[in-house]
Copies of this chain bind each other. A is one copy, B any other.
Amino acid sequence: MNKPVTIKDIARKFRCSPSTVSRALNNHPSINEDTRRNLQEYAQKVGYQRNQVSLNLLNTKTASIGVIVPTINNYYESAIIEGIDAVLHPLGYTLNICVTNERYLLESEYVTKLLSNRVEGIFLSVSQETYDSGHYEHLENVGKRNLPLIFIDRDYEGFSAGSVTIDDYHGAFAAVEHLISTGRKRIAHLKGPNGMAVTEQRFRGYTECLTKHGLPVEERLIINTNFKVESALEPTAQLLELDHRPDAIFGVNDQVAIGAMKVIREKGWRVPEDIAVVGFDNSPISAYISPSLTSVGRPGRQIGEEAARIFLNYLDATTKKDVPVHIVLPSELIVRDSSRGI
């Protein structure tokens, strides 16, 4: 680990001033052609890399923005990041990705770190713990700085921040309505962890759709999972042992739906003939498993892009107190084999 070569080092070597070196390397016109060439060649030779840290300090800006997400280990989240990057990278911004693993402490820590690293904006997909606890003090300083803050996935009213969310409610509603339209009457729901926005909105879509169609909302048909495939196994087994077993299962996401399908078949039932299954996320494999999985798609990439645009609008905003922008993107039901009509 050698010390990086600095402009001063080069200046000393050439017995000239740092200003000259700086100008030479930046192709400033008022530098003699020869000196410019010599300096540039030497800089190249010794592997000079301008110290961006010092520039960030000088300009009091960093051209970097923070992205805090609960996890990157799934299609949806990484699509969001891709979307943000697609818009902001061409403008010279660097993404600072932070993964909280759904932990409040990490989220809080990352916010502080990003703040003190002087990012120019923060994209935040609130962790489960944060959402559960309702603690938003870690965002106070973001507010004080009036730094562009854009909520992704989960909105929070306490701040004058932008947000891009998904219409989980109508997605769930459509999924359940589809099941009803194919003749299913006892539709179970493998719910996510209580209290989370995604969970509750999908749940509301589920219940309200049932109600609209005159079907009862049975508590026994609603069981919690934690989004992971394993967490669907036991609940599904439970559902199948009911006196009056469900004829359809709506999973809070694809993982859960896949877990449900596995158990259904292990117990000797058929999908979709005996029990239809619908998931949420339209993850890439959902089309390729067997039977292919009906699912509600979320436009992850588009979320990222919209969020990035909101950020850019913030920067342009001349009037300080613009009304924060809230965008709700539609989700889309994609019907496949796991829920074909009986």
Contacts and interface: CB of A to CB of B under 8 A. Distances in A.
A75 B51 CA distance: 35
A40 interface: no
Contacts of A85: 99
Interface string A283-322: 0110111101000000000000000000000110000000
A244 interface: no
B145 A1 contact: yes
A81 B53 contact: no
Contact of A262 (B78, B228, B289): B289
A118 to B, nearest CB: 5
Contacts of A146: 1-2
Contact of A81 (B62, B72, B289): B72
A261 B284 contact: no
A94 interface: yes
A214 interface: no
Given A1-B145, A62-B53, A96 B99 contact: no
A147 B4 CA distance: 10
A165 interface: no
Given A72-B78, A262-B289, A265-B290, 13 more contacts: A1-B146, A1-B148, A2-B146, A47-B140, A47-B145, A50-B116, A52-B117, A53-B56, A53-B118, A72-B81, A82-B99, A228-B284, A262-B290
Q: Lowest 4 A-B CB distances belong to which pairs?
A: A47-B144, A73-B78, A52-B116, A47-B141
18 contacts: A1-B145, A1-B148, A47-B144, A49-B115, A49-B141, A50-B116, A51-B57, A51-B116, A53-B57, A54-B57, A57-B57, A71-B78, A73-B75, A95-B97, A96-B96, A255-B285, A262-B288, A262-B290
